[in-house]
Amino acid sequence: MAPVAAGTGWRLLLVLGAAGLAAVGAPKPPNIVLLLMDDMGWGDLGVYGEPSRETPNLDRMAAEGMLFPNFYSANPLCSPSRAALLTGRLPIRSGFYTTNGHARNAYTPQEIVGGIPAEERLLPELLKGAGYTNKIVGKWHLGHRPQFHPLKRGFDEWFGSPNCHFGPYDNRARPNIPVYRDWEMVGRYYEEFPINLKTGEANLTQVYTQEALDFVRRQHAARRPFFLYWAVDATHAPVYASRPFLGTSRRGRYGDAVREIDDSVGKILSLLRNLRIAEDTFVFFTSDNGAALISAPKQGGSNGPFLCGKQTTFEGGMREPAIAWWPGRVPEGQVSHQLGSIMDLFTTSLSLAGLAPPSDRVIDGLDLLPAMLWGQLTDRPIFYYRGNTLMAATLGQYKAHFWTWTNSWEEFRQGIDFCPGQNVSGVTTHTQEDHTELPLIFHLGRDPGERFPLSFASPEYLHALRGVTLAVRQHQETLVPGQPQLNVCNRAVMNWAPPGCEKLGKCLTPPESVPEKCSWPH
């Protein structure tokens, strides 16, 4: 089927919506598979220029589908980015930030008791309205307390963990991270699910792959549309791979992990072809944030030509690899220069299901179907948040930095470096530099590495500043931050609270409103 014909037919199906499809006997909506990597960088795939060319399956996926070179996460850290994917909203709207400090990153380790608020409408919850069966495989990271369990938020099945595979711990002050099958804890990392930190050997990617394949087969046999959210974490330090892949990459252990993931993606796509449902399945591959250069080169990946990495709002921290694959629908071998965001996967998935996004809240994600099916590009800004602080914004080819910061001098002197070998004077700063009155502006087409800011006096700077300023003003005028979910808890407050501090147990109160006697950590 020609791409235009396919697009036209599918446009009609999308207009009809889920109820209309059933009424006219139209085919069921497509299956949706979102492949979310962990700390994988823009430069880690052969199709993005990685010189070892060790990702043949992902490169083939790009050749058969569409590449997005300008695709962004919604945050330079894992938990907020994943919240953005499943809500279609900037993390600051859903409360996935902290007020413990200015421009401070935060996520959901065991000490954090917050999670995705009940008021947020998650993608799997909405897809159930169109008859989808939903499964998450791998890392959840949106809260580990019972009320945040993924099966309470629209997923029908889960195999994975609420957190990353950090450890091992002593199981006294801190237990090892649990692994779940649906409601049941079936073991813990480093125990029933071993990870050898010395050799890097672990069989988790193979287990996660089998979970995905079994789910696809069962849903195909049941003739139900399905949503598979495959969120594996082998490329997050400490990186791991199974024995057949260890020592096979020119890139070391991190490359071993990438090669195994590439092999797994190949198996998933091959199964879709063999079941003859490839043309009925939309697949999208991306990552939650940029490569963690703090762990490189042995435990971290590559962000290609971009500056810095995970934890920063420079391009290396938030620009991600992204590939769309839908044989017979998405034209093969194409490159889209649409500015895309991980939040767009929420809106696009709803559109695929014939559903409209919730109308009672701001949705930041765009529907990417016009760009993928018909090449229609939409002008839109990209906002780069770090914690509760808007650090930068991109509009078109221009990126304006309102704050620059990598990490503190104290951390840097301890060997913690988010931008190893990439010092750019006045840009990769170790103090928080305020540029809100006169932003640093870069042309990302000519200068993707953010090394040469435009001259403040140039007409080009003034033109870019006007456009970005308007976009930011419109954004901030309507922004209503959610209640912060990721504040760090003071254990003394959690275990015993002096009078006047009892309500702080959830650690959701901004630090400036905490009585001094409660010793809120800053």
Contact 89, 125 (CB under 8 A): no
289 is in an annotated binding site: yes
The whole-angstrom separation of Cα 260 and Cα 244 is: 9
Q: Rounded to the nearest 10 degrees, how much is the dihedral formed by the CA atoms of 388, 348, 153, 182?
A: -120
The whole-angstrom separation of Cα 65 and Cα 521 is: 48
Contact 182, 137 (CB under 8 A): no
| Cβ neighbours of 274 (radius 10 Å) | 9
182 is in an annotated binding site: no
39 is in an annotated binding site: yes
Counting beta carbons within 10 angstroms of the beta carbon of residue 426, is it exposed (0 to 12), middle (13 to 18) or buried (19 or more)? exposed
Q: What does residue 10 show for φ and ψ, rounded to 5 degrees?
A: -70, -35
78 is in an annotated binding site: yes
Q: Mark residue 69 as left, alpha or beta (left: phi above 0; alpha: psi -120 to 50; beta: remaining).
A: alpha
The whole-angstrom separation of Cα 230 and Cα 210 is: 11
- State which H helix or E strand residue 60 sits in: helix 56-64
For residue 204, give the amino acid letter: L
DSSP label of 265? H
Give the SS3 label for residue 34: strand
User: What is the token pair recorded at 235?
Assistant: 């490329």
| Cβ neighbours of 506 (radius 10 Å) | 14
| Cβ neighbours of 252 (radius 10 Å) | 14
Instruction: Determine the number of helices (DSSP H) and then strands (DSSP E) in the chain.
Output: 13, 19
| Cβ neighbours of 111 (radius 10 Å) | 12
Residues designated as active site: 78, 141
The whole-angstrom separation of Cα 316 and Cα 245 is: 27
| Cβ neighbours of 281 (radius 10 Å) | 25
Which residues participate in the annotated binding site?
38-39, 78, 288-289
Which residues participate in the annotated binding site for Ca(2+)?
38-39, 78, 288-289
